[in-house]
Structure 1
Amino acid sequence: MVPFWTIETARGNGLFGPPVANQDLLLLTLAWLLASLPWVLGDHFIPYDSVGEFYPQSRFVVDSIRHGDWPWWNPYQYSGLPVLGDPQNMLFTLHTLVGTLLGPGYTLQAFDLVTLVHPFIGGLAIYAIGSSRGVPRVWLLSAALVFMLGGVATSRLQHVPQIIAYGLLPVLLWLLLMLESKPAIGRAMLLGLSGAIWAANANQVVFLGGLLLAVFAVLTVARSENRLRLAAMYGVAASVSLALLAPVYSAIIEIIALSTRSDFTLTDSAHPSFSPIVFASLFFPALFGNLNGKIWSVTDITQDFLYIGIIPISLYLLAFFSCMRWRTTAVLTWLTLLLFFVLFSLGVKTPLYPFLFNHIPGFDFFRRPVDAAYLLNLLFALGLLVIGRETARSTALPCGDTGHQLSASSRHLLFAIALSIPLLAFVLGAAAQSKDALPVLLENYGWLVVRVGLFAILLWWIKKQLTSPNRSFWILIVAGIFFAVDLGAAGRYSGLFSQRYSKIALARAYQHTQPPESNSLDAWLQSNTAPWARVEIIGGGESMGHSSVARWYNTQGYNPIQLRRYAEQIGSFVTFNEPRTFVDGSEGPLDQRFDVLGLRYVAFMTKWAQASEKDPSPASEQARRYRDELASGGARKLFSDDRYEVWERPGASRWLAVSDSASIDGLESAPCEVEEFCNTRLTIKCRSPVETTLVIGEVYAPGWFACVNGTPTPIEPFADLFRAVTLPAGPSTISMTYHPVPFLRHFGCSNGLFIARPDLPLSGE
């Protein structure tokens, strides 16, 4: 072992001594800021799902609250989409609070910064856990920084609900350990309330993190001197969480059963299963080409990134070559959990995941074994706490007196590592060559050598500083800067995980919340679209969740939750990069179901619609066929700019129609007008000469109830897709309201607190 890393040498300088809270918090904040500079300065944004799905969803929630409207139903995507029943609803998050307070200042940058704060909060919780248990300072700070910046905390920022769950998980662990130290009712209720907020956005990180918390709860009860009281307090916490989560989870269970995501099979988990080669990214900073060059990742580039930095890897190696006690309860528990999640992340490549998926309830709700990477990064951070404390205890003893040291000698370990290096190089080289990415791998070897060289210089400088007293703070500052830049250069300062606003038009549109320019597509769609005059966007960022931000009505979107009725009858597609095809039995672009839906406009991305026949990508080829078929049926182009051209479909809207049969062919325009339309309430006034059926071109979904002239009236599905009610003869008022929680629904017709959008033209024609 290197002499200057021994406890006796370093303790006097504070490196392996107790924490100094004010200095350490300053260092952690500085490192977080340094690694997050591209986002803090507003030059970069978090790409992919963050900008395409979660920011628009969050903006919809925030804007609805600020306009006095309930955000339980989103009318801007897929012709209506449940929000509370969406597991990734973004309702009960810090983003909602910050966005509501910021108002017009709630830009994409503000959204990204709130996302980045969550791993920072979790890192502080890791620090609190370790400092209360006497973890030496170097190990403690490294653990916090690994959690804040390592692996998923850099590459998976796009998956915002999962990052929220990941960031808050150590907070729950800390509260659980606080409850163990003092099993009081107040602490139990705080743990239960925090757990409910954490679990409200249901995802696999919550599920797996809940299992991890359950393991810790069992362990703490087993070692407690007051087991019954502690178990009772855990019961109180669980009861509080379940009571608060019941409305949300009941809505989620109902909607999931009716969506296209209710039938996962083990085959769906085959691709998002790690290959063992992915774990080489723990110490290769850009192994699969996330910075530049050809991407050759095994599953997805944002998933196959586990890099935790040179310093943590070195600390783990230090533990291997020290006289550490490995057979303690804490170390063995940590190793067992680490092994479980490693095997789980391998998915279908080992028997563990298929067994859990097929036989243990809950595991079949999700399809990505690679999401275990969140738990792995947490365990890498917790491992630094566990091993750091054991190393500090063990190093002060002679090696022969520990009795529980690693069975293999340091020489054998060193020999095994030396043998593994050329073997790993061969395996990585063969895998990269098979994907024509050998130059990318060679570049990564080069950068790894550079990092190791700089780290060697850092160690030499630290050794010199240790000869002077009271230098520990400056040593930690320099090491913290090295840590932050090491992780930042691996994926935060450039590359696929952190992209520039200047490169992406959609992201630039979210840099401010001002009204769109008068000649823009957004301004045109705001003025011309309505629920009965919707648009379908083919290609480009505006086809995703953008309509929820710009507040115009889209028949498509970018959300995994798609009601099965809608997907099977209309078709739901990620038209950002997929061809827009038509379902079996459809008459194509001129199908009458689109008339009932109120689809009046189709906007084609210009470069697809005008693409040369020599560039026959499936998406552009389908877009041209779609446009040409509309044009042959009498459609006309109404708007164009440098990115899109908008065509008006032929025919009349049948969004409000009456019929005496169950056939779409028999629909006629309804003698009705829309009086009020908002997220969860629709009011229509009619004057019909006879009793008939009123059909509204809104998707049928549970939770919607109708009152006709103050009398509860059932809503029935028309053509297995649209809403229909019995319309009486004479004047009538039809009110439809949405109640998302199954067991809280009522059938009364009392008025609620709803506010219609003032800018919406109240007409169904």
Structure 2
Amino acid sequence: MSEPDQTDSPPQTPRWPLASVFFIVFCAWFALSWPWLSGIVTIPWDAKAHFYPQLQFLATAWHRSLSPFWTPYVFAGSPQVADPQSLIFSPPFALIAALNPAPSFRWSDGTVLGTLLVGAFAIVLLFRDRNWHPAGAVVAALCFAFGASAAWRIQHVGQILSLGYFAVTLLLLSRALERRSLVYGFCSGLAAGFMVLGRDQVALLGVYVLAGLTIAAIAMAEQPLRALLRSLGPLIAGTLGAILVATVPILLTLFLAQESNRPVIDLLGAEKGSLHPASLLTGLIANLYGASGPLDNFWGAPSPAWEQRFGPLDLFLARNMGQLYLGLLPMLLILTIGLVRGALFRREIVALTIAAVLVLLYALGRYTPAFQLLFHLPGADFYRRPADALFILGALLAILGGYLTHLVMTDTAPRGSVWQKLVEAALLLGALALALWLAHTVGRLQLAIVPVATALLCAVLAMGALVAARGFALRGATIAAAIVLAAMLVVDLSANNGPSESTALPSTNFEMLRADSKNETIALLKRETARTAAPDRRDRIELAGLGFDWPNASLVHELDNTLGYNPLRLGLYSKATGAGDHVALPDQRTFSALMPGYRSLLADMLGLRFIATGVPAEQIDKSLKPGDLVQIARTADAYVYENPRALPRVLLVTQAQKADFGAILDSGQWPASFDPRRTVLLERDLPPLPAGPDQAGSVKIVDYGTTEVSLAAEAPRGGFVVLNDVWHHWWQVEVNGKPAELLRANVLFRAVAVPPGRSTIRFVFRPFEGLYADIGKLVMARYKPPV
């Protein structure tokens, strides 16, 4: 980021071939993205198991004129509006949902890849603003979009979105400071706001990096005070833009977090997600540890093979989380011209260099003392993997590599002395020797030979392309130089960072997630829930132990599921039912004191009627006895059972009993003789019902939407209508068109008192009113005068 007070307008560079560079970057992006854009493969894991169902739910809700702010289809009800991964506040995905009621896998994958393209274009514009060589811009843009975690962890959609917004914000903020522009300042704030809406660690680190670069630009100006004063307008405008976009969603998430299952991560917990120093070798040898192949081939830290040789590491990282490779050319330039010869410490780039070093120290976690200090940054204790910093580190290294390419193309790179060249050779040969020694020590030398040979071939290719491009550049053939380097990077990145088991699997693997799925298990559950539907019934299902991609299939197919896949859940529901983040494997279905198994009163109250499991249910719930569940089918995917005791979704009862919900949750013991068909448990005493005829009443579902449920009750002597949906205080209720008190009933559910006679009841989810009330309560509690 340039000094903000050195120029009143951007440098005039009419000859910079912007359109041509955009076209080169687009062609390279299209070539590298084609496996996904063609539909041959699709982005797997979280991109499908978690984010794609969110997109489909969002599209379905909007095209049915329903609100997507609450979903009944996972965890017996979940506040989507406060979930940072629901995609509601993501403009590209929201646009897809608005345009297409059933977006395909290619639509979803294309949006993720398109986000990286937008970020790449922002990098190009950043280079143009500085009049850095177009070939350097091409290198930086392609390495940004297809390097490090952007390539290896593309399945983490939220973090990819944050990375794309980071590049855009960097460009706009830079222009705002350099041009003293309120418009660019405001736009940079909008982009930063959307980045922060990801509410992930990439966004957090992106904010700190951008803040640090801003401070550095002001501090390094010839007149820092004058630079600060000139920057105030754009920075204030940016702050307003960010507040406009991000305030309400972030507050929703913060207040939800207080009631969720997500605790603050302590230092020891966070350090378990540290990047092992040996992973840095992947910056030069992409697949050194076998991360792209079968899981058994992976031998890097922390794999069983590594720990068997070097001892336990107590790290919890997937094999793709330690991949730093972003092309051999930029990494070679960074190590040699950049570090050994000192080009990265020039005034115009040193702030980015320092930022990259600090982000690397953060990523290494426990392996440097710096993390203990950096962990005290506000917000750091919400995240458990410092290795996620590789997203931002990859972006910074891509820019640094592009800058060094610019120096080479313009013949302004420092010449190396003999000793510097010897140090460079020692560094590269030392890295190669260390890689081979580690492979030999762990007993995986044969697996390492191909990646090492590939790296050597790519080194030859990169150096040859660099020499050829430099020759073109010095003769004035700027576009030819850019094309040569783009072609080289397409070969390099497709060979080393191309589709792998972590980033690309056949689309046919995810048939159960298609809106028009013909999957036998899904079709059976749809038929059975339709068969048992009744005026008072809306039966729930459970998907357990069917595989990684199954838990959120209910979001796609509008099946009311007691479980799902989400790291963020209502804490009350998790404690009551034992619901965890995921239920891909049979042993991930844990139960609770209050719901010790499928044969339990809480399971019946939830209306859990149909259970599909990947193994016989007795292997999941070992307390089951013959006859507790009735097996009704055996499909290719699942054993499907029916629970004949499942209760209706709505009940009308005439008795109320005060109960200690905390004690019930802890002990798992309901009050003696409690029958939810006759009595409702409440947290406080209510006046007795008026005397009246002792005759049965009834209640039925009139309309059941996402954020609104309408019921009709016939209660001769009044009573309580119990809706067996998860209670949350952002829900409100009306009886006969008038506001009524929403009661938390039977520990987990919603209820309302109704007068004698006929009543219409309307439950409505109003999160913004609830947020406003929560803020008011917080303020009152904080500033309440002492008694």
TM-score by length of 2: 0.82
The Cα shift of 1:251 comes to 0.8
> Paired residue for 1:48?
45
- Structure 2 residue aligned with 1:163: 160
Amino acid corresponding to residue 473 of structure 1 in structure 2: I
Q: Percent identity?
A: 24
Query: Are 2:599 and 2:628, in contact at CA under 8 Å, matched by a contact in 1?
Result: no
Check conservation: 2:631, 2:641, Cα contact below 8 A.
yes
Spell out the pairing of 1:32-181 with structure 2 (5 A cutoff): 32-104=29-101, 106-181=103-178
Alignment deviations for residues 271-327 of structure 1 (CA, whole Å, 9 cap, x no partner): 210111111111111122123251234322221111011222243356249976555
Deviation at 1:508, TM superposition (A): 3.3
User: Matches of 1:145 and 1:424 in 2, distance apart?
Assistant: 25
Q: Is the 8 A contact 2:286 2:451 kept in 1?
A: yes
The separation in 2 between residues aligned to 1:321 and 1:49, in whole angstroms, is 37
Separation in 2, partners of 1:75, 1:436 = 51
Quote the Cα distance in structure 1 between the aligned partners of 2:342 and 2:388.
Answer: 31
How many angstroms apart in 2 are the aligned matches of 1:689 and 1:296?
71
User: How big is the shift at 1:674?
Assistant: 0.8
**Distance in 2, Cα, partners of 1:221 & 1:422:** 40
> By how many angstroms is 1:643 displaced?
1.6
In structure 1, what is the Cα distance between the partners aligned to 2:431 and 2:163?
30
Would you say 1:499 and 2:496 are equivalent positions? Answer: no
Q: What amino acid sits opposite 1:416 in the alignment?
A: V
Cα deviation code 1:2-48 (max 9, x no counterpart): xxxxxxxxxxxxxxx97422221111011111111110111011111
1:6-25 pair list within 5 angstroms: 19-25=16-22
Judged with a 3 Å threshold, the aligned counterparts in structure 2 of structure 1 residues 423 and 321 are, in CA distance, closer, same or farther, namely closer
- Structure 2: which amino acid aligns with 1:639? A
Choose from 645, 650, 653 the match for 1:651.
645
Aligned runs of 1:285-300 on 2, under 5 Å?
285-293=286-294, 294-298=297-301, 299-300=317-318
The answer (yes or no) to whether the contact 2:182–2:234 under 8 Å persists in 1 is yes
Change in CA separation of 1:453 and 1:319 when aligned onto 2, cut-off 3 Å: closer
In the alignment, is residue 637 of structure 1 matched against residue 631 of structure 2?
yes
Match of 1:570 in 2: 577
1:340 aligns with: 358
Contact 1:571 1:582 (8 Å CA) reproduced: yes
Alpha carbons of structure 1 residues 436 and 674: separation in structure 2 relative to 1, 3 Å: farther
Q: Return the alpha-carbon distance in structure 1 between the equivalents of residues 260 and 143 of structure 2.
A: 37
Distance 1:723 1:435, change over 3 A: farther
Query: Which of 507, 511, 523 is equivalent to 1:508?
Result: 511
Residue 520 of structure 1 is matched in structure 2 by 520
- 1:310 is matched with which residue? 328
Kindly indicate whether the alpha-carbon contact (under 8 Å) linking 1:62 and 1:96 is maintained by their aligned counterparts in 2. Answer: no
What's 2:206 paired with? 209
1:194-233 aligned at under 5 Å gives the runs: 194-222=191-219, 223=221, 225=226, 227-233=228-234
| Residue pair 2:213, 2:351 contacting (<8 A) in 1 also | no
Matched residue of 1:697: which SS?
Answer: strand
2:556 maps to which of 549, 554, 559: 549
Paired residues of 1:319 and 1:391 also in contact (CA < 8 A): no
Matches of residues 614-625 of structure 1 in structure 2 within 5 Å?
623-625=617-619
Structure 2 CA distance for aligned equivalents of residues 172 and 133 of structure 1: 16
After superposition, residues 405-420 of structure 1 pair within 5 angstroms as 410-420=417-427
Please tell me whether the aligned partners of residues 743 and 750 of structure 2 are also in contact (alpha carbons under 8 angstroms).
yes
Partner of 2:687: none
Partners of 2:122 and 2:374 in 1: CA distance: 30
In structure 2, the partner of 1:373 is 390
Q: Secondary structure at the match of 2:82?
A: coil
Which whole-Å CA distance do the structure 1 matches of 2:413 and 2:761 have between them? Answer: 80
Whether the 8 Å CA contact 1:537–1:556 is kept in 2: the answer is: yes
**1:546-600 CA distance string (max 9 Å, x none):** 1111211111111111111111111213221251232135442111001111100
Counterpart in the other structure of 2:9: none
2:165–2:195 CA contact under 8 A, matched in 1: yes
Moved more, 105-114 or 188-197: 188-197
Query: 2:713 is paired with a residue of what secondary structure?
Result: strand
CA contact under 8 A between 1:119 and 1:167: conserved in structure 2? yes
Residue-by-residue CA offset, 1:199-232 (whole Å, 9 max, x unaligned): 2221111111111121232234443755324213
Contact 1:323–1:391 (Cα < 8 Å) also in 2: no
**1:183 paired to 2:184:** no
With over 3 angstroms needed to count, the CA separation of the structure-2 counterparts of 1:508 and 1:481, relative to structure 1, is farther
1:660 matched to 2:656? The reply is yes
- Show the 5 A alignment for 1:373-452: 373-388=390-405, 395=412, 410-421=417-428, 423-425=430-432, 427-429=434-436, 431-432=438-439, 436-452=443-459
Is the CA contact 1:324–1:394 (under 8 Å) kept in the aligned structure 2? no
- Deviation, 1:697, is 1.4
| Equivalent-residue separation in structure 1 for 2:441 and 2:267 (angstroms) | 27
Moved more, 160-169 or 452-461: 452-461
Partners of 1:389 and 1:456 in 2: CA distance: 15
Write the distance in 2 (CA, Å) between the matches of 1:675 and 1:584: 34
> What TM-score do the two structures reach when normalised by structure 1?
0.85
Q: C-alpha distance in 1, partners of 2:771/2:612?
A: 40
- State yes or no: 1:583 paired with 2:592: yes
- Higher alpha-carbon deviation: 20-29 or 123-132: 20-29
Report if the CA contact (8 A) 1:221-1:231 is conserved.
Answer: no
Q: Distance in 1 between matches of 2:620 and 2:321?
A: 35
How far residue 434 of structure 1 moved from its aligned partner, in angstroms, is 6.3
1-structure distance, mates of 2:340, 2:254: 51
Q: Aligned residues, how many?
A: 699
Larger RCO, structure (CA 8 Å, separation 6 or more): 1
CA contact (8 A) 1:302 1:497 kept: no
* Partner residue in 1 for 2:304: none
Residues 45-101 of structure 1, C-alpha deviation per residue, up to 9 Å, x if partnerless? 111100000111111112111111111111100101111111222112244344235
AA at the equivalent of 1:535: I
Which residue type is aligned with residue 488 of structure 1? S
The answer on whether the counterparts of 1:739 and 1:745 sit within 8 Å (CA) in structure 2 is: no
Q: CA RMSD in A?
A: 3.0
- After superposition, give the CA deviation of every residue in 1:452-483 in whole Å (9 maximum; x if it has no partner): 3444554676688789x675534532431220
Change (3 A) 1:425 1:175: closer
User: CA, structure 1 residues 694+351, in 2 after alignment: closer, same or farther (shift >3 Å)?
Assistant: farther
Specify every segment of 5 or more residues in structure 2 that has no aligned partner in the other structure, as ranges: 1-13, 302-316, 660-669, 679-696, 775-787
Q: After the TM superposition, which of the residue ranges 555-564 and 134-143 deviates more from structure 2?
A: 134-143
CA distance in 1, matches of 2:714, 2:597: 34
Deviation at 1:151, TM superposition (A): 0.8
